[in-house]
Amino acid sequence: MATSKPQRFGDLEPSAWPGERLGLPESGPRSVGRIGRRFLALFVDWGLAALPAFMLIGGPNASVWNLVFFALIQIIFIPTIGGSIGHRLLGLRVVPIAGGWVGFWRPIVRTGLLCLVIPLLVWDSDQRGFHDKIAGTVLVRG
């Protein structure tokens, strides 16, 4: 009797390395960006967004402006330079799973979910957060 292929997501075997199920290499260029680089890139972007929010605008709504500037950094730079400033400084790129250009809608959806914070905490064995899964993207070294 032949073994059957998994029919449900819960039946899938975990990846041997992040990105295996996506056809990405285990290491080197185009491999999934690891958690250390990802968080450092996030802190760089958050810090860059804090500069105008707290130094130029300030006041009681500075933290809201920080989130707005953070979102703008993501939405503007992902489709234009392939990632946020933090991503690019740390050698990372946001690419669509289907290949090609990331477009405009993916960064908007990805950033909207990223700003909710909770999607960051939901990962799969390919180290893709919920925000990347919904947007159809993956953060790779590159």
Q: What number is the average pLDDT over the span 75-82?
A: 97
Q: What is the CA radius of gyration of the chain?
A: 17
Q: Is residue 1's pLDDT more than 80? A: no
Q: Taking each helix axis as running N to C, give the angle between helix 62-81 and helix 105-115, from 0 to 180 degrees, rounded to the nearest 10.
A: 150
The predicted-structure confidence for 95-115, as pLDDT tens digits, reads as follows 999 889 999 999 999 999 999
Q: Is 91 left (phi over 0), alpha (psi -120 to 50) or beta?
A: left
63: exposed, middle or buried (Cβ count in 10 Å: 0-12, 13-18, 19+):
exposed
Identify the pLDDT of residue 70. 97
Identify the pLDDT of residue 130. 87
Angle CA 107–108–112, to nearest 5: 115
Could you tell me which residue, 23 or 88, shows the higher pLDDT? 88
Q: Is residue 3's pLDDT more than 80? A: no
The predicted-structure confidence for 10-65, as pLDDT tens digits, reads as follows 566 777 888 888 888 999 999 999 989 999 999 999 999 999 999 888 888 999 99
- Is the four-CA dihedral 68, 36, 15, 77 of positive or negative sign? positive
Q: pTM of the entire structure?
A: 0.84
